[in-house]
Structures are given as structure tokens and as C-alpha cells.
Amino acid sequence: MSDVVKSLPTRLTAAVDMSAAPSREEAEAAVRTLIRWAGDDPTREGLHDTPKRVAKAFKEFYSGYDEDPSDILDKIFSEVEGYDNIVLVRDIPFYSHCEHHLVPFYGVAHVAYYPTKGVVGLSKLARLVDAYARRLQTQETMTSQIANAMVDALDPRGVAVMIEAEHMCMSMRGIQKAGALTLTTQFTGVFKDDPAEQVRFLTLVRNRG
């Protein structure tokens, strides 16, 4: 396991212990409290069923806690006729929630690697992005998690991950700069050691021709 993964808090590398989780009734009660805090009446018609809907939505928003990234990447196809060049899946859309304000950030992820012992199904890379996106996150942590999960599972010659996202905590509150994008990258192996490989990755990501 990489040193970066080892250094991440347990809450980010393991599933939440749901045996200690509040009940659905407690979650719905918390939503009613927040509605009152916002200045509205949770018993009025339009808000009566909102706590149930929010609790249900949370299960979907944060379903990544139920996903084990190592299971997603556990099947490797070795019969690739000796292919050992770059594999890139770009423009993978995702939606996540900022762990600081519980508001969304969303965008696209670009993921590439140089295979050694084989390749994984392309849809697995999109599932890996979702597994980490559907948690309380920071963009920086999510970028590192995706890269390190691929290193651990695939033992590739190198991994490159770029995430571009707009953060609602910056767009709709605080400084309120809608449309500003945050870009993060993580490089390992040949992508980290060879600047030319970074340029190749960035060129392939940006080339729409």
C-alpha cells in the first residue's frame, strides 16, 4: 500500500461502521431541526415529507461508503496482445459533496494509466471515481484516493488523474464566484518522473479533435 494511502485518515480508507449510525428516524428528526433553523415550519404541507426525502437522498449521495475500491478493480484482463501503452478515460462526470459545508461540487475526472500485468474494464474506472465522489470529500483528497487505489490494484507503470470541478461552497455562498473551476492532479510512476509523459497526458485530455 502506498505511503499516501497509509497516511489518510481511517474514515477515508475504510467503510463507515454503520452499526453506530443513527436510525432513519433520528436522521429525519435532524432534518426537521435544520428546517426550523433555516426559519421554516417542517410541519407545513410542502415540507411535511421533506425529512424522509432527504434521508433517502443521503443514502444515494453517500453510497460510496458502501463501495470497496479494491473490489471494483479486482478483475484484470491480461489477454491484451501485449498492449502496454497509455489507457485514458476522460470526461468522467461526477457529483460529490464538500465535507466542509455539505454542499455539492461537481465536474469531470480524467484518469490514465500505463498497464503492466493487464487492463481493467473501462467502466471500472468510472465506478472508481463514483466510489470516492459519493462521500463527503475534498477535491484534493479524492484525486489522491483515485490514483492510489489504481496503484495498489493494478501495479501500473504510472497513473495520472486530473479533476476539474465547480464548488457550490464557492459559487453560491461566501465569495460567490460562479463558474470558477478548481483543477487538481496526481501523478505516479512514469507520469511523475517524466515531464514529457505529463505533457502527453494533458495533451490527450485537452485534444478534442
Name the residues annotated as catalytic. Answer: 98-101, 139, 167, 169
Give the Cα separation of 179 and 174 in Å (integer): 14
Strands of 104-114's sheet in order across: 136-137, 87-98, 104-114, 158-167, 182-189
Q: Where are the alpha helices (DSSP H) in the chain?
A: 3-7, 10-13, 24-38, 50-61, 69-72, 122-133, 139-154, 168-171, 190-193, 195-206
CB count, 10 Å around CB of 36? 12
From residue 27, alpha-carbon distances to 34, 55, 87, 93 in Å are 11, 6, 42, 29
